[in-house]
Each structure stands twice: as structure tokens, then as C-alpha cells.
């Protein structure tokens, strides 16, 4: 059995429920600071704290102790990907290529139809991102410019850099990208 990263599991389930650290702190009566330290692996929660956190997240306590090295927990089958719908999406979907957010990196597949954009305005997140264009032609808008990318091209997007994607091709475009730390 490999090392179990309980903090990353708490982060994963918190984000899955859509809670901020402050909201989870209020539900658990733990401080936001303590929860943040636990999620980052800088503090170890007691069993009682884990019970309270599991209750607030409405998950079984055992979820924090699942073996991540179990083969079935490492594989994402093509037809079983989690679909990530963004509030601003008009039909495009992000598909998670990672089995969960328990690790240090997350892989995501973005498919955009011709003319679709990922957002009206540029958006940013804390994670660093690297993307590879699998097929088609796409434009990425960054805070200080834009790039047209073709199949086989790749780009690195620094943490916090506002950006959005637009399909400028006549065919659907697929982009696979990695985000570290996971933020979807």
C-alpha cells in the first residue's frame, strides 16, 4: 500500500461539493487555517477531525483511506470520464482524464465545436497549465496577446495568467491540458 495523501483527498471532496475552505470550516468548526494546512499536507488531522470533515462533506470516513495505488483507482476508461460543465459553457464539455484530484497534476480534455469559446472574458486560476492541441486550429487569448495554435502545437500558461480558448477551425478541436495543482 502506498502513501495515502489525506489532505489532497479532503481538497478533492471539498471542491467536488463546491465548498470554499471557509464554508467547510464553518460546517466542521475547524479553523480555515487548520483546514488549509491539512489540505497542503502541513498538518495531520486527528481521527475525530477526519470524522467531522467526512460528515460535513457527506462522505464515508473510509474514503480518506482508500489505496490510490489500487489499479482500478488509477485508470479512467474512455467511456467513463467525468464531465466537467462550466457555468459559462454553451455546450462544450471538459472531460477529466485523471481518476481524481488526489494527485499533484490533473489532465483534462477540452472539445470545442467551430466558433465556440470557453468563456466570454479571460479567466484565470492558481494552477500552472500546459496544453497540447490534438487536432484542428485554435486561438488562445492571453492577458497580453493571442496565439493561433495547430495540431501538434503546445503552450504553457503560467499560474494566474488570464486566458480563454476559441475554436477558429471549421471542425471540432480537441485540446489536452495538464493543470498543477488540480483546480477543476
Backbone angles phi, psi at 118, to 5 degrees: -80, -20
Which grid cell sits at 9? 483527498
- Beta-strand runs (E) in 8-100: 82-84, 93-96
Mean pLDDT of 86-108: 72
Mean pLDDT of 83-100: 69
Quote the pLDDT of residue 36.
93
pLDDT confidence tier of residue 182, bands split at 50, 70 and 90 = confident
Which grid cell sits at 14? 471539498
Which grid cell sits at 46? 486527528
Q: What pTM value is reported for the model? A: 0.60
Of the listed ranges 16-30, 31-45, 102-116, the least confidently predicted one is: 102-116
Quote the pLDDT of residue 124.
85
Homologous superfamily of the 6-65 domain (CATH): lambda repressor-like DNA-binding domains (1.10.260.40)
Homologous superfamily of the 75-180 domain (CATH): Jelly Rolls (2.60.120.10)
Quote the pLDDT of residue 46.
87
Of the listed ranges 52-66, 68-82, 159-173, the least confidently predicted one is: 68-82
Q: Which helix (H) or strand (E) holds 93?
A: strand 93-96
∠ CA 91-95-100, rounded to 5°: 140
* Residue whose C-alpha cell reads 496544453 in the numeric block: 131
C-alpha to C-alpha distance for 37 and 143, rounded to whole angstroms: 32
Mean pLDDT of 157-175: 94
Q: Is the pLDDT of residue 1 over 60?
A: no
List the domain boundaries for the chain: 6-65, 75-180
Whole-number Cα distances in Å, 125 to 134, 156, 162, 163, 179: 23, 14, 8, 9, 10
Backbone angles phi, psi at 173, to 5 degrees: -115, 140
Which grid cell sits at 41? 499536507
Q: Using alpha carbons, select from 89, 85, 84 the residue that is nearest to residue 167.
A: 89
Amino acid at each position: 500500500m502506498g502513501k495515502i495523501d489525506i489532505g489532497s483527498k479532503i481538497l478533492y471532496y471539498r471542491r467536488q461539493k463546491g465548498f470554499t475552505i471557509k464554508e467547510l470550516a464553518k460546517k466542521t468548526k475547524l479553523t480555515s487555517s487548520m483546514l488549509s494546512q491539512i489540505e497542503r499536507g502541513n498538518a495531520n488531522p486527528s481521527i475525530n477531525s477526519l470524522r467531522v470533515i467526512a460528515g460535513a462533506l457527506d462522505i464515508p470516513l473510509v474514503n480518506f483511506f482508500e489505496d490510490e495505488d489500487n489499479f482500478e483507482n488509477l485508470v479512467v476508461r474512455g467511456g467513463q470520464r467525468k464531465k466537467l460543465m462550466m457555468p459559462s459553457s454553451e455546450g462544450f464539455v471538459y472531460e477529466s482524464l485523471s481518476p481524481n484530484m488526489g494527485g499533484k497534476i490533473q489532465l483534462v480534455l477540452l472539445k470545442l465545436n467551430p466558433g465556440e469559446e470557453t468563456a466570454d472574458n479571460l479567466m484565470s486560476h492558481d494552477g500552472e497549465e500546459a496544453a497540447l492541441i490534438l487536432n484542428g486550429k485554435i486561438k488562445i487569448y492571453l492577458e497580453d496577446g493571442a496565439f493561433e495554435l495547430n495540431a501538434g502545437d503546445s503552450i504553457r500558461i503560467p499560474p494566474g495568467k488570464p486566458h480563454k480558448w476559441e475554436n477558429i477551425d471549421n471542425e471540432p478541436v480537441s485540446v489536452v491540458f495538464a493543470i498543477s495543482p488540480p483546480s477543476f
